[in-house]
Amino acid sequence: MTTIYHNPRCSKSRQTLALLEEQGVDFEIHEYLKDTPKKSTLKDILKKLDKKPIEVMRTKEKILGELGIALDDLKDSSLIDLMLEHPILIERPIVVTQESARIGRPPESVLELFK
């Protein structure tokens, strides 16, 4: 099953969702701000993306400034914990299949999953 980690307030996320619908992809929507993924799920997504936690973090979110966190000082495990505690920090949208995943920036990049 294909899953989109979606934020309905994000234009790129909405565009990616529409693109999946246009392509006839069977998928489920996971609104990660309402229902934060488990740590094991986030680690699996990172593995499928072949990216480090910092590479899927929204590093310009104001929460980081409010918390006074220096990301350079954190290890991968701490970055994952931070994303789980503040899911707004997770880049969106992310489309995940059994084998792989892509970040929908630009939205068309997720189409690689279905070739």
**CATH match for 2-114 among 3.40.190.10, 3.40.30.10, 3.40.50.261, 3.50.50.60:** 3.40.30.10
Count of residues for the chain? 115
**pLDDT > 90? residue 55:** yes
Q: Which of 115, 108, 94 is nearest to 48 (CA)?
A: 94
Domain boundaries, the chain: 2-114
DSSP secondary structure code for residue 110 in this structure: G
Confidence of residue 106 (pLDDT cuts 50, 70, 90): very high
Does 102 qualify as catalytic in the annotation?
no
The strand order across the sheet containing 27-31 reads: 27-31, 2-6, 94-96, 101-103
pLDDT of residue 112: 95
What average pLDDT does this structure show over 75-85?
Answer: 97
Q: Which of 1, 8, 10, 29 is catalytic?
A: 10
- Burial code of 83-103, b = ≥16 C-beta within 10 A, e = fewer? bbebbebbbbbbbbbeeebbb
